[in-house]
Structure 1
Amino acid sequence: METLWSADSPLTARDVQESLHGRELATTTVLTVLSRLERKGLVTRERAGRAHRYRAVSTREDHVAELMRDALDAAPDRGAALARFLGNMRDDERAALRDLLG
């Protein structure tokens, strides 16, 4: 996902594979992962000749926000979960949150 989030345009499986410097991954392995990400709704693909090009459905920030919402939804006591979360934030993060809420 990091590779797709960082890209300016859709990437082929080979593009993704080449961006993973130092990892000995077969193109079929990269295609399998991209296919799974597509089934999960995290990426879309479009035909580009004989290949497909893949693009992230949302930004990294949108994805993280969704994960945070999912985690909150799973908490039986949302208030307690939020209090614990805020208690673990750095002062500058709490200040940024106050600015966003203000």
Structure 2
Amino acid sequence: MRVRRFGELEAVIMDRVWDRDEPTTVRGILDEISAEREIAYTTVMSTMDNLHRKGCLERERVGKAYWYQPTLSREQYSASLMHEALHGGGRSDLVLAYFVEQIDAEESAGLRAALRLRRDLPQPKPTESLSQQQ
């Protein structure tokens, strides 16, 4: 799945959805956002519908309302953006090197821990080619 950065309202809505432990409705999101700024129900509804069509939210109809929940966690979405940037911005080895130059010591320690975890996980076995199966 190709990911892209959210627009301003999309990001606000996704943050609200990610902050919940259970599915939510347009009305639930509207009530939170309208406490901070004036916004129409139809604006929130159409933005959540767009996020659904883009594959960011899944929904289920319950009675007359749709209940929405994210298809990816906030962290999975961020990782997808990072992956896209790594492979879409020139030589990936240089992109990664420039990225590492910009992170602080705590982030660097987290990156090293993630790499150690990946190294210690069992690696998938290569699949047989079709010619080997015949």
TM-score range, shorter chain: over 0.9
Q: Which runs of 5+ in 2 are unaligned?
A: 1-13, 117-134
- Match of 2:21, SS? coil
Counterpart residue number, 2:105: 91
Aligned-pair Cα RMSD in Å:
0.9
Normalised to the residue count of structure 1, the TM-score between the two structures is: 0.95
Instruction: State the structure with more CA Rg.
Output: 2
Where has structure 1 moved over 3 Å in runs of 4 or more?
A: none
Normalised to the residue count of structure 2, the TM-score between the two structures is: 0.73
Residues 19-55 of structure 1, C-alpha deviations (whole Å, 9 max, x = no match): 1122211110000100111111100111010111111
- Match of 1:58, SS? coil
Residues 62-81 of structure 1, C-alpha deviations (whole Å, 9 max, x = no match): 00000111111102200100
Counterpart residue number, 1:63: 77
- Match of 2:66, SS? strand
Q: Which runs of 5+ in 1 are unaligned?
A: none
Question: Distance between the aligned counterparts of 1:91 and 1:44, measured in 2?
Answer: 37
Question: Distance between the aligned counterparts of 2:93 and 2:48, measured in 1?
Answer: 37
Counterpart residue number, 2:44: 30
Question: Distance between the aligned counterparts of 2:81 and 2:25, measured in 1?
Answer: 26
Map of 1:69-88 to 2, 5 A cutoff?
69-88=83-102
Counterpart residue number, 2:54: 40
Identity %: 36
Aligned residues: 102
